[in-house]
Amino acid sequence: MGKIKVLIADDHALFREGIQALLSKCQDIEVVGEASNGEEAIERVRQLKPEIVLMDVAMPGLGGLEATLELKKIAPEVKILVLTQYDNQEYLYRFLKAGVSGYVLKRGAGADLVSAIRAVSKGGTFLHPDMAPAVIEGYLGGLRPPQQDDPYEALTDREKQVLKLVAEGQTNKEIAEALAISVKTAMAHRANIAEKLGIHNRAELVKFALQRGIIE
């Protein structure tokens, strides 16, 4: 049986090196590449065809959630394993809704990470023990992914990607280049976001993104 091919997506080079060193000790796991942001992760997936992507949450440009939404469209066979410092329930619900296969906290990134990679490779799922109560609570409460009356959930996947980039100050041209769309389409998405959220200036949009953890 071949090795499990893994791509590491994280904006901290030292952390990527540490994870690569950890996984290099596993004979059944091979790190085939790295990415420092969501755009690079998407491109590396196209090039390298990994089986699993270790996805950080907070990265410049397209973040982990936005990149996950895109990867689930262009490469649905690739499994996403979130590797993050955030134990926030809202992040967890959003990623589960996006279709990730696991959620590992960086503070437990040792034996937990290796176990998670192997479980996900076999078609299973992995959830850090500290996050399990949130899932149980959500299940007992009717599987409450992010609240349905949250205007953020009215946005399409593409609009969520554009929202993060706009909140970070990127221009229509930069957004178009990052998402491989036309400038006109980027402008249309911005208009739709403004309409759906009822927000028509960037300061309020940044405030909205900060409140929901879309940007730091």
Domains 4-140 and 151-211 share a fold: no
Domain boundaries, given as residue ranges, for the chain = 4-140, 151-211
Alpha-carbon span 182 to 175, nearest angstrom: 9
DSSP 7-67: EEE-S-HHHHHHHHHHHTT-TTEEEEEEESSHHHHHHHHHHH--SEEEE-S--SSS-HHHH
pTM of the model: 0.78
CA dihedral 2, 29, 104, 159 (to 10 degrees): -60
Pick the CATH number of 4-140 from 1.10.10.10, 3.40.50.2300, 3.40.50.800, 3.40.50.300: 3.40.50.2300
pLDDT in tens, the chain (216 residues): 689 999 999 999 999 999 999 999 999 999 999 999 999 999 999 999 999 999 998 888 888 999 999 999 999 999 999 988 877 777 788 888 889 999 988 876 677 899 999 999 999 988 877 766 666 565 545 555 555 567 888 899 899 999 999 998 999 999 999 888 999 999 999 999 999 999 988 889 999 988 888 887
Alpha-carbon span 178 to 199, nearest angstrom: 23
Alpha-carbon span 83 to 103, nearest angstrom: 6
Q: Give the tokens for residue 189.
A: 């998405």
Looking at residue 128, the DSSP 8-state letter turns out to be -
Closest CA to 35 of 20, 23, 21: 20
Residue range 151-211, CATH number: 1.10.10.10
